[in-house]
Amino acid sequence: DIVMTQSPDSLAVSLGERATINCKSSQSVLYSSNNKNYLAWYQQKPGQPPKLLIYWASTRDSGVPDRFSGSGSGTDFTLTVSGLQAEDVAVYYCQQYYNTPHTFGQGTKLEIK
């Protein structure tokens, strides 16, 4: 199974500042035939299901604010939240869908400093 490791486990950022969350996969999730990274990012707030933010490592899902951006390729990926807002407090997960099981990272808790 592909192991997904996020860092840090928790993060406190001031309102309006930038938050950066990293995700590393134990093997590449870049599919060479279509040059796509099979990597997604989710936001989960307490008592709610996860919400898809980013897929193909850098494509925002419909309706996701453009302050959320994804980057990276191969085994190393980053989720950036630019201009942190109070409603961005949540746990963020990365997930690979290159191979089954479609494993998730352990999560990163984002808080306001």
Closer of 72 and 92 to another protein (Cβ):
92
Q: CA–CA separation, 94 vs 106, rounded Å?
A: 8
- CB of residue 17 vs another protein: minimum separation in angstroms? 25
Q: How far is CA 89 from the centre of its chain?
A: 14
Options 19, 29, 40, 79; binder of another protein; rule CB under 8 A = 40
Question: Residue 65, preceding bond cis, omega within 30 degrees?
Answer: no
Choose the stretch contacting another protein; rule: CB under 8 A; options: 10-18, 22-30, 66-74, 97-105: 97-105
Decide: is 106 part of the binding site for another protein (CB under 8 A). Answer: yes
Query: Which amino acid makes up residue 104?
Result: F
Q: Give the angle 30-70-28 at the CA atoms, nearest 5°.
A: 20
Instruction: Catalog residues that contact another protein under the rule CB under 8 A.
Output: 1, 40, 42, 44, 48-52, 55, 61-62, 91, 93, 95, 97, 100-107
